[in-house]
Structure 1
């Protein structure tokens, strides 16, 4: 009968815990209200996204059809150190979530020990030693004893008010936010690599253009020198031809320096010292891909930074529940049992057995407003994350609009610039023929040559800008990422 009574309180506590199992203090998460437009303002002329294998599995850079770029992107994922930092941060978030989940289970501990103790009894004199210490001079006695113990303990905090569940909800959301941050970091680095590589290929074309121009100017200089030797032109024409040649040679040398910088940046992105990395010069420049657009509402699921911002809102919302749960008492069930004896030989025997079991309620009765301030802090933190989430969404809309209009305007500008280049080439052809016929002086040829070269370089510059804008638009649309795969993509990255 006594044993049944001793178990009555714990069993009652378990029953109460089961009755309150569905309760969780604090507000349940609801996505903050957003103003989402029906379509993009600059979306005229863009087709909506269609199922594409390249975008579906995330390898959006394959749209450019460049094998070297594809290989560099694989090397980036495998060796980039900035990305490795993001992976490590995600693994920390995973560990924190596992730690929060472990709070739902009992804690079991074991202890085995021996204690030796002594106590003086009786009375007696003492003698002072030279070092100032004293010792007993006799007349008393001392008692020394040994104590052996072995115990097993169990402690279990019951989640009556949902504090542990809210904490797990917050940690899980933070882990998802970390996975989205990892995806955002990877997308940013992939975008940077693609932009650098495409600019390097455009620069290869510019170097080739300048080298071909230098060869043409060398022929012009030779022609002018021959005409000067024949007494047809003045020495000033020779000087102008030489000036034009040397100026163009200097421009070609300057581009080599800029190309080297791009090559060094690519080397660091793929985790290689610049001294151990090089890219061969290639004449071909990847073509502009067809970039499908999305509806604004779809952007919320495709952008990893937006997904991360929302997961942080979920975590902040759950922390409100954790803070409010501090108003209510904590219930902890504890049980312990074992053996305790003063003799080693009969240590583990029934007479030396002991046990204890019982619940423990604990709550704060007065804290000077500490809990209230923590709840207020959690609510303010939630409001902050909501504002950050809404700002992130607005920025994502702006970026897409910016790159859409940039690509449209650049396409129109490139068409007009190509017409200007065609005219400049025709003017150069006519002017060169007139100079050879002796009807005009060389200064007219120099002017026409400079105009033609300027237009040639402008066309290539516009091509590079359009390629960069296309990469930026793809990144602004989320690349091939989708928030439905947020956890699995993070786990896959962490396992590599």
Structure 2
């Protein structure tokens, strides 16, 4: 239930002035506004640095604390990669949809803010009345105006909440843009690795066919058993199956990359033949800088601030609302008389509406928004903690991946040398065929694992750039 108190109202005939009648009421209204505005609550100030406890430096050893580079794409020194990322940022449909969501959120903020301004409508028409004894017609020009004077800032707080949500959506878009660039680069590196894995499998098949011919010749001369020939043929078939799997992986990654680029997945991308060297050690900056740089944290903070503004707006619904309404117009059988200002009749009314009993709806609305604010606060803390984890994890992973890459590089060199010795020893009858086949499998596995960890190093570096909120 609400109480509506009329403050001033007048129905004026053409040519009558009502300013004198309204002045005392307006003075009373202004005094009331001045007294009540001093008690209006506002949303609290939120600061990312003060709100989150961040360590003075990263826990991972050897993590440089210098400011990070703002552009990470150029650090790979790969023009083809830069061109693909640019293509994806311009043509990806998911990113375009995210951009449209930003426009939608901004327009919604404008819609919510429109209530702070007077709403004026004009209607023109012609009315025809037929009676048993006569028939009349008249042209009409009518207008109506309504305006809720936002004395306490309730509508402004609601508009501010929508604007902050629009800022969050814009931060989401920025994050989606960085994520798309990262996924494009990682898919590009995956495609290079898949092609290199296929090349390694092809070379392995050539080597195994050489072994098959060697064993077949020895079997024909009675120097080896039929079991040896069966074993090398089985090993060759397994290698061919592995090559088919590698080529299937190439087409899968190619089509996925083409979709990221906004192209038809026709498996038509050309690819370079080598992975780039990992960039030099990265300066990770300070943990506190992460809070003001990562898009997801910026979005979470904006949503928390929007919740604060909605609490403020909900609390101000308990205060009285002051409304101003007006209506007027003129009607005449002659169209030319509509423009005569002496023929215009109008009325103006101002009132105060105070909620008295609403069944607990308004206070429940306040508690609802307070609960959502608590949810947004904890969601922000969780997002910040996860951001710290991603950085620490990527920093540590880079150290161990580099160690793994060095070990696998050594393993490739050793297996290649052992394979040559195994071939010589088998020719001399010093080892069994299983030992020879095992040396070939070890070489293939070491080469495949080395390629995989090289690609993981590059992908992890991109993950680290993304975790730190670095720009493209």
TM over 0.5: yes
Q: Distance in 1 between matches of 2:44 and 2:364?
A: 21
Alignment equivalent of 2:107, drawn from 92, 95, 99? 95
Match of 2:46 in 1: 30
User: CA shift at 1:429, angstroms?
Assistant: 2.0
CA RMSD of aligned residues (A): 2.6
1:372-426 deviation digits (Å, cap 9, x = unpaired): 1111111111111101111111111111112222221222122222223322222
Q: Which runs of structure 2 are paired with 1:121-160 in the superposition (5 Å)?
A: 142=133, 144-160=135-151
Match of 1:476 in 2: 467
1:74-113 deviation digits (Å, cap 9, x = unpaired): 2222222221221111111010122233333322222323
Alignment equivalent of 2:198, drawn from 200, 207, 224? 207
Alignment equivalent of 1:466, drawn from 447, 457, 460? 457
Q: Distance in 1 between matches of 2:105 and 2:249?
A: 41
Q: Which runs of structure 2 are paired with 1:355-394 in the superposition (5 Å)?
A: 355-394=346-385
Tell me if the contact between 2:68 and 2:285 (Cα under 8 Å) persists in the aligned partners.
no
1:6 and 2:24 matched: no
Match of 1:123 in 2: none
1:435-460 deviation digits (Å, cap 9, x = unpaired): 23333333321122222222221212
User: CA shift at 1:323, angstroms?
Assistant: 0.6
Tell me if the contact between 2:67 and 2:285 (Cα under 8 Å) persists in the aligned partners.
no
1:184-237 deviation digits (Å, cap 9, x = unpaired): 222222222222221111111111111112222222222333333344333333
User: CA shift at 1:16, angstroms?
Assistant: 6.2
Alignment equivalent of 1:196, drawn from 179, 183, 187? 187
Alignment equivalent of 1:46, drawn from 58, 63, 66? 63
1:78 and 2:94 matched: no
1:228 and 2:219 matched: yes
Structure 2 gaps of 5+ residues are 1-15
1:237-295 deviation digits (Å, cap 9, x = unpaired): 333333322221221111101111111111111122212x4222432112212333131
Q: Distance in 1 between matches of 2:171 and 2:187?
A: 24
Tell me if the contact between 2:68 and 2:470 (Cα under 8 Å) persists in the aligned partners.
no
Structure 1 gaps of 5+ residues are 120-140, 482-496
User: CA shift at 1:23, angstroms?
Assistant: 7.5
Match of 2:129 in 1: 117
1:299 and 2:285 matched: no
1:282 and 2:272 matched: yes
Secondary structure in 1 aligned to 2:283?
coil
Instruction: Give the TM-score of the pair, scaled to structure 2.
Output: 0.88
Tell me if the contact between 1:24 and 1:163 (Cα under 8 Å) persists in the aligned partners.
no
Q: Which moved more, 1:287-296 or 1:159-168?
A: 287-296
Classify 1:148/1:279 alpha carbon distance in 2 versus 1 (closer, same or farther; 3 Å). Answer: closer
Secondary structure in 2 aligned to 1:103?
helix
Classify 1:442/1:108 alpha carbon distance in 2 versus 1 (closer, same or farther; 3 Å). Answer: same
Alignment equivalent of 1:61, drawn from 65, 69, 73? 73
Tell me if the contact between 2:57 and 2:65 (Cα under 8 Å) persists in the aligned partners.
no
Question: How many residues were matched structurally?
Answer: 453
